[in-house]
């Protein structure tokens, strides 16, 4: 087995200077996100790690998909009875991480998560492919499952139940908005002397600081 300690990769695809940064981190994110979205080597630029912690500070992370962002924050949708949904109900402080290896870039975001208005959740749910809607209804996310056949049978039952009908939005399926309190932009550089800048919200102003990598 190859030793992990011997694996090395130098980063040389870009630099990040203070003069390059937008005053607003959401604008800076949009710039980087658009570049990631048009990079042929990146298949899902909107894939992000979501970290949550319950009231006992048990931290867990998983990959979810960003489904929208604007000046208010970052949106994703999920089953609120899942582990992440239960964690957010107990402790709304979350962290997001975007990692785009072909561009040698990371973006880290911290802030509270809150429920989106039900209307927005319903609009997005109804825009999803029908099979995705059915899967959201069929999966009791994070709950123990005796076998895969149970899940597939539930899916088939729902297909029959809602044939030629609109699928109702499950009450347990919701959208969340992560409102950023801090955002960090990381650009890989040679010799591990990476460029890293952090935006921190103080009242209504974003403070920008360079951090040691």
Quick one: which of 62, 58, 97, 74 has its CA closest to 26? 74
With tokens 């990598």, the residue in question is 213
Catalytic pick among 18, 118, 192, 210: 192
Active site residue 210: no
| Number of helical (H) and strand (E) elements in the chain, helices listed first | 5, 10
- In contact, 10 and 190? CB cutoff 8 Å: yes
Please list the alpha-helical segments (H only) found in 60-182.
83-90, 118-127, 130-138, 148-161
* Residue numbers annotated as active site: 192
């Amino acid at each position: 087995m190859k030793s992990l300690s011997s694996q090395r990769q130098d980063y040389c695809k870009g630099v990040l200077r203070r003069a390059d940064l937008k005053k607003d981190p959401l604008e800076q994110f949009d710039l980087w996100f658009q570049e990631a979205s048009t990079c042929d080597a990146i298949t899902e630029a909107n894939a992000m790690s979501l970290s949550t912690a319950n009231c006992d500070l048990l931290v867990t992370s998983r990959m979810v998909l960003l489904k929208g962002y604007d000046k208010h924050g970052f949106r994703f949708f999920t089953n609120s009875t899942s582990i992440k949904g239960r964690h957010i109900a107990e402790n709304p402080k979350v962290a997001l991480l975007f990692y785009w290896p072909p561009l040698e870039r990371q973006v880290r975001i911290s802030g509270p998560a809150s429920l989106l208005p039900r209307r927005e959740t319903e609009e997005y749910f109804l825009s999803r492919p029908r099979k995705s809607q059915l899967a959201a209804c069929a999966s009791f996310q994070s709950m123990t499952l005796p076998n895969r056949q149970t899940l597939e049978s539930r899916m088939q039952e729902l297909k029959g139940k809602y044939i030629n009908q609109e699928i109702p939005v499950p009450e347990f399926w919701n959208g969340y908005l992560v409102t950023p309190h801090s955002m960090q932009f990381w650009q890989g550089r040679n010799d591990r002397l990476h460029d890293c800048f952090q935006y921190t919200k103080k009242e209504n102003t974003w403070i920008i600081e360079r951090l040691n990598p």
